[in-house]
Structure formats: structure tokens, C-alpha cells
Amino acid sequence: MKVVIVGGVAGGATAAARIRRLDEKAQIVVFEKSGYVSYANCGLPYYIGGVITQEKDLTLQTLESFYRRFRIDVRVHHEVLSVNPDAHCVTVRNLQTGEEFTESYDKLVLSPGAKPTRPDLPGIGSDKIFSLRTVEDTLAIRDYVVREQLESAVIVGGGYIGVEMAENLKGLGLQVTIVQRPKQLMNTFDCDMATLVHAEMRRHGVALRLGSTVSGFAEEDGRITTLLADEEGVTADMVLLAIGVTPDTKLAREAGLQLGVKGSIVVNDRMETSAPDVYAVGDAVQVKHFVSGEDALIALAGPANKQGRIVADNICGGDSRYRGSMGSSVIKVFDLTVAGTGLTEKASAAAGISCDSVILSPGSHAGYYPGAKPMTMKVVFEKDTLRLLGAQVIGGEGADKRLDVLATALHAGMRADELKDLDLAYAPPYSSAKDPVNMAGFMIENLANGLVKQWRWDDEPTLPRDGSVTLLDARTPAEYGRGHIEGFVNVPVDDLRDRLGELDPAKPVYVICQSGLRSYIACRILTQEGFDCYNFAGGYRFFQAVTQEKRASENVYPCGAEK
């Protein structure tokens, strides 16, 4: 059996190695357009920033090591020009010699990945504008920044690559500005959670121009200006385009394969395309979202590696199936860990799912053990069924651990209230006896049982200040004095029972505290005394983070609300 693989990196290289482990006699040929067959593309920004110091550390396998271990014929600097599914062959060009030839196959695996989106704008051809996809791109950017001793950069786009590059260029001492049309960074997160990312970026000196539309680029006096529609442009020494990726599916389209979302390759759960004996994996393929069941593009290394393994199993006579992607991801943003899985509230709404969520701000471990750091968790669930839909966790140490627990629960099909039953490891340096994931389950169970009702940060502007409702801050006087919401009166939770006579039971009560715990206790006291009570989701710390970001934004409010 002869297997030809187009593209290495995650999916293609994984498929090649797995095929060899399953079939020692298979002939395996890998064509890779770049000069590297298997590299850590998620590590590329960190080489530019000098965190990863050795170029060789980016290379997971070299041609020599791949051949020594797996006896795989890897040909770098070889571009596959066309695929002929009927004749079971591909046409290939050696990019170093210009030679073109035909290679036959019994099975073909397409792993072309996705290419950075590059819009057709005036000035886009400038040599001061870069994109990041390959090791070669990485080396070129690093060399340019160091050689030219750059002082500033504009990053167009605020997704994963844009945010990581902002941190790494800032670490090299550059002044960095992120410009993008959406009004929030990290669009795979809900807008309220994204404000925590905004605040961290601003805290480290990254300028944000959100809600701005790039109209072109202009060079002058050795620098480049990113032109913006209806506002002043931003001048810097270089521009990095990070506005997303597009499936690199020219080969598949010209070969007549069925295409789907944004021109991606349609595959079944065995990763088979519409052409016999042709498989596809990685960022170029359309998958099913594990939670919503909708067609999706999810460009992440984890799914690509799993798909490569599944393809290898099926090529070698097995029957492996890909169950879909949840989009579990994590990113370092200066001192924060930012992680998410499944559906956000906005994605749930777009999928037609009626959802609710809880927001909590637990510590990373027991409060009495030194060094606990706060994190913010948002857990999304379906209202009627309590089906777990997704989660977002932002904080310091332990944030990734909680996200992985929630991703596992999501994959296992657990109800959101069943999170309370998880038996999770506890010792003071690592967690609390009631782990944050358990706490989320307790909160969801309380909502489902009617023990508590919620109000949210975006309800605050509409709360009456005419005396028709009671606005109550359950924190200590010292906390209240350091900052509070206008119109809220301070009644500490420990004094509440003795001061019930000051409150009118005929009026609804909206309660807030620092993290949501004391206000919940206050709501339980008031509800049992006949009050109609609502607890704030997330606590004052979360409210302050969201509203401070409103004030920090020069041209837009977060979440798309206009000034």
C-alpha cells in the first residue's frame, strides 16, 4: 500500500507516524511545501519574543529523525500542484529545482492547513507587512525586528495569534497597538469575559483600537501607517496581519471535492472526502461542533492530531470515528491564563439554544494557604435541560486545570448541576474542599431549584433609582467605601437580620457583594422573609472589571453597545 500525504505539521505528520506504527510495510510519502515537516506552530510567537531561544526547539521532527525512526519518505520544498482522484495520482513541483513530476497513490491524505487571511487593500504588498504561519515566517519576523531594532508594531486582529504576538513583541520592548473591527478581543469568548483580557492588555501597555476598520496601508519615511476608516491611522515600524485564517483548499476545489463552510473540505466522521481513497485532516476540514452539532471550522492542533490518528487507523483497516470538536483552548495573556471550551452564551444563542450561565470568582486554592489568586469562571448551560454547553475560565494558576475538568464533563455529557458531584482532589496548596468546579454545580442547582434568582451587569443601567426597588450592597463598609454602584445602600450581610426593618418587603431587592457568595447568603435570608430577591452574577469585582473597560475604551463600549 502506498500512501501520499500532502502537508506535514500536526495532522499530516501524525497520520504518517501512526500509519507506520500500524503497517511496517506501507510506502509513505509526505510532500511539504515549507522546509519543515513537523514543527510546533503554536510555539512560533514565543520564538519571536525570545521565550523559546533555540530554533531547533521549534522542530518536532527533522527529515533525518523522521526517516530514522519511521522510514518515511519526506520531501520538503515540494508543492503538490494538483490531485487527480480518478487516476489516483498527484502532480508535484520541486520548489528548489523547478522539476515537476507525477506521484501515484493508493490512499491520499490532504493536510494543507489554513493560510492567514490577507485582504486586498491598498498598500498590502509592503515588505513591512507580515503574516505568521510557518517557521520561515517566524524567522523572517524575528530577524526583521532584531536587525532593524524596531520600536513599534501594529497588529491587525485580536484573536489568538494577535494576542500572543502582542505579548511577545511587547516583551521585546516594542510599543504595540492592536487594531480590529470587532469590538472585543478573543471573539471565541463572551464579551463580558473578554473585558478581563482587555484590562490585562492595557495594564501591560498594549494599546487597543477596537471597532476600527482598516482601509489600507501607506509607507512614509521608513515607517508604515495603518489607515483606518473615519479615524486617524496608526503609524509604526511594522504591521502583523492576524485577522484570521482561511482553509487552504485550492487543491481540493480544483480536484472537484465537496466543499463546505468557507470553502473547507467536507469529510465524514471517518475523515473521508467525497472522492474515493482521499482523506483530509486539520485546519482545512469542516467538522461537527460537538455541542451544537452544527458544521464548523475549528483550527486547533489538538483536533488535527486526533484526526491524523483516525485517518491512519482507517487507512490501515480500522474503523475509527471523529466525534466532533468542542474548541477547547487555552492562551497565555501576560499574567493571565485564558481558557474556554464548548459554546459561549452568544454562540448558544446563535445556535438557537436557550441558555443561562453562572459567573463566579473563586480562589485558585484555599484562601488560608498563602498565594491564592482569583479566577473568573463562566459556565453556560441549557435552561430547561441543564445540559452543560460550555465554560470560560480566566485567572492565574489553576485556571487551565478547571477548564480541563469542565471540558471532560462536557465531553462526557454531564448535566451542569452534576458538576457538584465530581470527586476532585483537594489539598490547601491546590484547591479548596469545595473546588470551583463543584461550586459552579452548586450554583446551577440552586438556580434550577429556585433557591436564587440572578441579575447581571448589563441590567444595571435599567435598574430604577426612584425608590421602587431596593438596591443592596452586602459587603463591609470598608469594601463599600472603596467603590460601589451608584444608588446601592450598604447593609453588610452579617447585619442584615438585625436591619430587616429598614427594608420594604413589597419591593424587589437587587443584591451585590464582592464575589457573589455573601450576596447569595443575603438573598437566602431575604427570600425566606418574603422578599423578592435577585443575586448579582459575578460579584462587584466582575462588575467593576466590565464597567472599567467601558470607560477605558476610547471609541466603543464592550459587547457592541454603542456610546
String of DSSP letters for 139-193: HHHHHHHHHTT--EEEEE--SHHHHHHHHHHHHTT-EEEEEESSSSS-TTS-HHH
| Strand blocks (E) in 369-438 | 375-382, 388-395
- Residue partners of 307: CB distance under 8 A and separation at least 6: 11, 271, 281, 282, 285, 322
**CA distance to 94, 104, 109, 200, 455, per residue, from 2 (Å):** 20, 8, 11, 51, 61
**CA distance to 171, 212, 433, 545, per residue, from 198 (Å):** 17, 15, 32, 10
Q: Grid coordinates representing 423?
A: 470527586
Out of 42, 89, 316, 559, the active site residue is 42
Taking alpha carbons only, the member of 87, 84, 88, 90 closest to residue 103 is 90
Length of the chain in terms of residues written: 563
- Residue partners of 262: CB distance under 8 A and separation at least 6: 246, 247, 297
CA gap 281, 527 in Å, rounded? 54
- Residue partners of 390: CB distance under 8 A and separation at least 6: 291, 326, 340, 341, 342, 343, 344, 347, 348, 379, 380, 410
String of DSSP letters for 53-69: --GGGGEEE-HHHHHHH
Based on the residue annotation, tell me whether 533 is a catalytic residue of this protein. Answer: no
Q: Grid coordinates representing 297?
A: 471550522
The owner of cell 482522484 is 85
Give the catalytic positions in this structure.
42
